[in-house]
Amino acid sequence: MEKRLLPAANSLMNRARQFIPIGLLALLLGLLAWLLNRADSPIGHTHGPGETHANEVRVSRRSGKSITDTGIQWPSREKLWRTLTLADYNTRVVFAGVTALGAAGGLVGTFLLLRKRSLLSDTVSHCTLPGIALAFLIGESMGISGRSLPLLLFGATVTGVLGMMSVAAIRAKSRIKDDAALAIVLSVFFGLGIALLVVIQQLPTGNAAGLAHFIYGKAASMTAGDARLIFFASVAVALVCAALFKEFKLLCFDTDFARTQGWPTLALDLALMGLVVAVTVIGLQAVGLLLVVALLIVPAAAARFWSHRLGVTMLLASLIGAISGLVGVAASALFPKLPAGAVIVLSSVLCFSVSFFFGAKRGLLVRWLDQRRVAARVARQHLLRALYEWCESQALQHLGDPLQLLDRPVPIAELRQANHWNLARLTRLLRLGAAEGLIIWNPDSHACHLSAEGKLEARRVTRNHRLWETYLLHYADVAPQHIHHNADQIEHVIEPNIVNELEELLAGREGGALVPADPEKTTSANSDTPS
């Protein structure tokens, strides 16, 4: 009964583990919705343009600075407190919208990064520019306000999807590589968008169009309606990712296997591209089409340094994207002259830099520590094998008792001469072996001994080295003068199961000895014997 329940329980746990990142993302989005609908603080309210200007004039008069001063001023203590506590409604609106956008971007960007389509988001974002310009022209010609946000976003979506389909068609119908197809579509659509913007600027209402905000972003002008649109779009993106988690995972890691198993890989690829278009379009007003790619790729790339598991990586990417949005909005609120979109991107780059150096799985510091541990293990094994081979050579010369083979004191000078080590390297190796309890050595003495644990480890290391040498010599057709170097390169990573296979393969060749004889010396002796 327990054997039947165990696979079902494991399957249930794996399925539940897949939805943990989506559940935490839903909790984050719920918190943002609460902040968006929270009543304003009694100590502050949203000011109109006239009140804001009057307040700036009064502040500038009290500080003695001109209102045209372009320098960056440090915020007051009251402004810092109001920003950190989200006391102002406009700050909460921008915070909710941008944070939800960062979370959704990190979620989709994880699949996009694993799919090796990072530049696709950049291409899609540039393809939205002609759609925005065409939507404005069509709206003005039909008597509708061309600055209507739903109309502009609809136009951006249409041309974004068109650009995505163009990339797919070029890649499928020609021999042009992915990077060339992306570059072609990006340049053509962006050039068309710039040309249409020049046409719009020549219209009577062109200067008031404000379409340049979609290029560089203007998160400070976000309204509650814009934030709700981003919020609901982010929820939809999270639900789609949850529903297609298994399919997207298979698509990202093994597309060929998915295709052979009958999965609709083309439809899944188009669905993933559709999510990219959705996140790109809703992020145009916040960070602009030039920087929206950073919200998709940078958080996902930063999360890859912390985990090898897809679910955890998605969660971390969403959190990094949300934190980047939070820091960017806070910095823009404290320093109004800093552009929010650029600060959001710089915040995500800062998170990436921290992850790059201190990531728990792929960080530079972890890799450096791993390399030091591997180098110490290799050096320790070289020392133990050198001690064993010296003791072995002395036993062969003096016909000593094999049981007392490793009890001999090893002179430091002879060990250094036999292995061509300089004094600094040999001293470092001896200190390493003594620190790990493998040898008994006093810096003032001229000899060292193997400890009980060191004897066992020396036999194991030498045996693995010679097993691999014997295999290279008799089964891999490696020349005798090269087997020592080749074995020295790989003996440090031999796993126990490989050692067992080598022992079975070479059974009987060495007569059941604890440590096989050195095949290089045996071969040399046989070649020197006259026939």
Residue 168 pLDDT > 70: yes
More confidently predicted of 90 and 48: 90
What share of the chain in percent tops pLDDT 90?
7
Whose tokens are 């008799």? That residue is 474
CATH code at position 339: 1.10.3470.10
Q: How many residues does the chain have?
A: 531
**Which of residues 334, 362, 390 is at a domain's end?**
362
* pLDDT value at 363 more than 60: yes
Q: Are both 404 and 495 inside the same structural domain?
A: no
CA dihedral sign of residues 17, 18, 22, 28? positive
Is 11 within the bounds of a domain? no
Same domain, yes or no, for 486 and 444?
Answer: no
Is 44 part of a structural domain of the chain? no
Q: Assess if residue 140 is contained within a domain.
A: yes
**Cα–chain-centroid distance for residue 190?**
29
Neighbours of 459 (CB within 10 A): 18
Residue 242 domain-assigned (yes or no): yes
On whether both 389 and 495 belong to a single domain, the answer is no
Q: Which of 50-59, 105-114, 391-400, 402-411 has the highest mean pLDDT?
A: 105-114
Residues 279, 323 share a domain: yes
- CATH number of 438's domain: 1.10.10
**Domain span holding position 223:** 20-39+74-362
Between CA 71 and CA 82, with CA 76 as vertex, the angle to 5 degrees is 120
Task: Round to whole Å and give the CA distance between 119 and 125.
Answer: 10
Q: Which of 233, 223, 336, 337 is nearest to 281 (CA)?
A: 233
Domain assignment present for residue 10? The answer is no
Please spell the DSSP secondary structure of 226-294, one letter per residue.
HHHHHHHHHHHHHHHHHHTHHHHHHHHH-HHHHHHTT--HHHHHHHHHHHHHHHHHHTHHHH-TTTHHH
pTM here? Answer: 0.74
Say which residues have a Cβ less than 8 Å from residue 159's Cβ, sequence separation at least 6. Answer: 127, 128, 129, 130, 131, 134, 189
pLDDT at 277: 87
What average pLDDT does this structure show over 267-296?
A: 84
Residue 402 pLDDT exceeds 80: no
Asked if residue 287 and residue 436 are part of one domain, the reply reads no
Burial of 123 (0-12, 13-18, 19+ CB in 10 A): buried
Same domain, 241 and 338: yes
What pLDDT is attached to residue 352? 92
In a domain, 422, yes or no: yes
pLDDT of residue 357: 93
Q: Which of 403, 422, 450 is the last residue of a domain?
A: 450
pLDDT for res 301: 92
Residue with tokens 């984050």: 28
pLDDT band for 495, please (50, 70, 90 cuts): low
Contact 334/73 with Cβ under 8 angstroms? Answer: no
476 assigned to some structural domain: yes
Residues 471 and 322 in one domain: no
Q: Same domain, yes or no, for 386 and 521?
A: no
- pLDDT for the residue numbered 322: 87
- Residue 55 placed within a domain: no
pLDDT above 60 for 528 = no
Contact in structure between 435 and 380 (CB atoms under 8 Å): no
291, 295, 297, 303: CA torsion to nearest 10: 150
Sign of the alpha-carbon torsion through 211, 214, 216, 218? positive
- Going by pLDDT thresholds of 50, 70 and 90, the confidence category of residue 502 is low
How many Cβ atoms from other residues are within 10 Å of residue 175's Cβ? 7
422 plus 317 within the same structural domain:
no
Tell which of 362, 395, 411 closes a domain: 362
Look at 68-72, 202-206, 279-283, 334-338 and tell me which has the smallest mean pLDDT: 68-72
Q: Are residues 438 and 456 in the same domain?
A: no
Looking at the structure, do residues 237 and 380 belong to the same domain, yes or no? no
Q: Edge-to-edge strand order for the sheet containing 410-411?
A: 410-411, 447-450, 439-441
Residue 45 has pLDDT above 50, yes or no: no
Per the structure, the count of domains in the chain is 3
Residue 441, helix vs strand vs coil: strand
Percent of the chain, pLDDT > 70?
Answer: 72
Task: Give mean pLDDT, residues 208-225.
Answer: 72
In this prediction, residue 188 has a pLDDT band, given cuts at 50, 70 and 90, of very high
Instruction: Calculate helix-pair angle for 224-243, 149-173, nearest 10 degrees.
Output: 30
Let me know whether 217 and 228 are in one domain.
yes
Distance (Å, whole) CA 199 – CA 193? 10
